[in-house]
Structure 1
């Protein structure tokens, strides 16, 4: 079930990313690392999304890079699917950690829109931060990174201006981690909207990696606000006070929640007297300062 959630998140994000990237630039690259994982099912799902961009590709170049231990069977499988015939696919075997940067250089990925998807959740060992950071060669660049339970996502923040993570859980035990890193605030907001809009899969829920109580959250367009409330109060305890805009940014980058969820929580906290606001009345605009009593 976790594999289904990851695949839907990838497909939905690609559906938004690909047309926007092709509108922006004449060359666009999608990198699918660990492409031989899950028998290539995620790679095929991604390829089908990219192949649907035919209306945007005229006069432009859209490439898909497959990298993994042995991606030849995956590339051969994709080549046999008629609707993918026009898609420009390059396969590089030899291991994602060893070959990702090499493949990007060979493809001329520097300074072109670049999205990477690295599902290392079942890999023998997680990719090095340097491997993931190689994707920052793209301009703009972003990456979806899946990691095994217990791996520290914070190791992968360096080099990425905007970074967030969510735990995909099926119970009390630690679940897989999915990190998203980008250079675009708009793209981060879009990913957060996608995160809460995916179909619910039986038994799969989210957990905010920063929530000390490890509360499980049902996938919903109106997620339970408890973890966000706790994290905002803890954050205010550390910094003293913050503007609404700063708290919205905090939620986007340091929690699983959206910026819009912050406004809902702050209204509740202010109405109950749990936090103070300056000025005390009026609209809860971005420049309103929130603090603890």
Structure 2
């Protein structure tokens, strides 16, 4: 298993997201598909993901879950770990190891008849080509679908990845940089379900603190590095909310919470904490002026001077 701290954070986030996705998917449908693809070494993530399913033997009874793992052809270490994990899997889960990388995902999902049922895909695209439109479309064929994608920065060579993901059917998108020393990788999460976006954000900040790994919000112009914490430093969110209000003039608390969830690394629930501080500092105003800071309250940037 990899001792790489960024790899450890990725592995934990994958496991945490699966922990919330499996019961949600199986309560919704009688079949579902999990797919993971690694063009290079998986760092122990592939078999760690499979072992999550052992916790849901009762939910799997009478249902059909397929787990697809795509990895380098001839990777004997991955094959051995996959076989060991497979031997411990509960009934109702079919696990398959196939040669290939991210580009082979559409073929794998078609073979698994994944279309039309819940799909969660984890694609580690570091060191490899950018995922093509056919890959995104294949994942989005799930009902519902969600994608956790790892890329080398800059994301998609500066392309508008939000537009590409929304066009494929995954309109709710957020991203975070994992930074250790001078190295960084970008996690992009995309879904069509607000509750699943919230689940990812909760997993992001509940992860264990690994030595030397911090988060960076790609939308923060100052590039402030954030420690992994259940109560993250609010500085970048403060700057981004003020910039948003300067751009649009005024917005409801609900709109600002949605902005936070999609356009920053923070949770929607962090919005009210920061808005309360901004109101106390006189940097923004609210209408109505008193009462609970509910979703229908309008927040307006205070003019300078």
State the TM-score, normalized to the length of structure 1: 0.93
Equivalents in 2 of 1:280, 1:59: separation in Å?
54
Residue 106 (structure 1) aligned to one of 111, 132, 154:
111
- The total of aligned residue pairs comes to 289
User: RMSD in angstroms over aligned alpha carbons?
Assistant: 1.8
8 Å CA contact 1:242, 1:291 repeated in 2: yes
1:226 Cα deviation after fit: 0.4
Partner of 1:124: 128
Partner SS for 1:37: coil
Residues in 2 aligned to 1:219 and 1:162: alpha-carbon distance in whole angstroms:
23
Residue aligned with 1:169, SS: strand
Q: Distance in 2 between matches of 1:222 and 1:244?
A: 20
Shift of 1:207: 0.4
1:33–1:118 contact (8 Å) kept in structure 2: yes
- Find the partner of 1:233 among 231, 235, 242: 242
Q: Give 2:176's match in structure 1, choosing from 138, 155, 166.
A: 166
Match of 1:27 among 27, 31, 34: 31
Deviates more, 1:126-135 or 1:260-269: 126-135
Query: What is the aligned partner in structure 2 of residue 83 from structure 1?
Result: 88
Gaps of 5+ in 1: none
Distance 1:10 1:94 in 2: 20
Which of 67, 70, 74 is equivalent to 1:67?
A: 70
Shift of 1:66: 1.4
Unaligned segments of structure 2, at least 5 residues: none
- Inter-partner Cα distance in structure 2 for 1:154 and 1:116: 21
Q: 4+ residue stretches of structure 1 with deviation over 4 A?
A: none
Whole-angstrom CA distance in 1 between matches of 2:213 and 2:125: 19
Aligned partners of 2:88, 2:176: CA distance in 1, in Å?
A: 33
TM-score (norm: length of structure 2)? 0.89
